[in-house]
Structure 1
Amino acid sequence: MNSNTQKTVWLVGASFGLGYDSALKYHNEGWHVIISGRSKDKLYAMQTQYENMSVCVLDLLDQSSVDHAITEVFKYQVDLIILNAGDYELTPSLENNFDTFQKIMNINFLAHVQLINKSVSYLLEQTNKSTICLVGSMASIIGLPNASAYCASKAALTSYAQTLYFDFQNTNIDVKLITPGFVKTRLTDKNTFKMPMMVTSEYAADQIFKATQSNKFETVFPKRFYWMMKYLSWLPMHKSAKQLLRQA
Structure 2
Amino acid sequence: MNEFEIVSKRFANLNEQGTSTINNLQATLRALEVQLSELKVEWQRMLIREIEGEKVNLKKCQTRMREVESEISVTKELLATAEYHNKNQLAELIFELEIARNNAHKDICNEVTTKSDNLKRKRCEFLLAAKEIGEIQARGGELERKFLNAVRLAYGSEQHATYKPSRKVGYPIVNLYSDNEGVFSHVAPNTYEVMDALNFGKVPFFVIWYGLYKELLSENEARKRLEEIKRLKELKRMGEKSNG
TM-score by length of 2: 0.26
TM-score by length of 1: 0.26
Q: Which has the higher helix share?
A: 2
Q: Which has the higher strand share?
A: 1
Q: Report which of the two structures shows the higher radius of gyration computed on alpha carbons.
A: 2
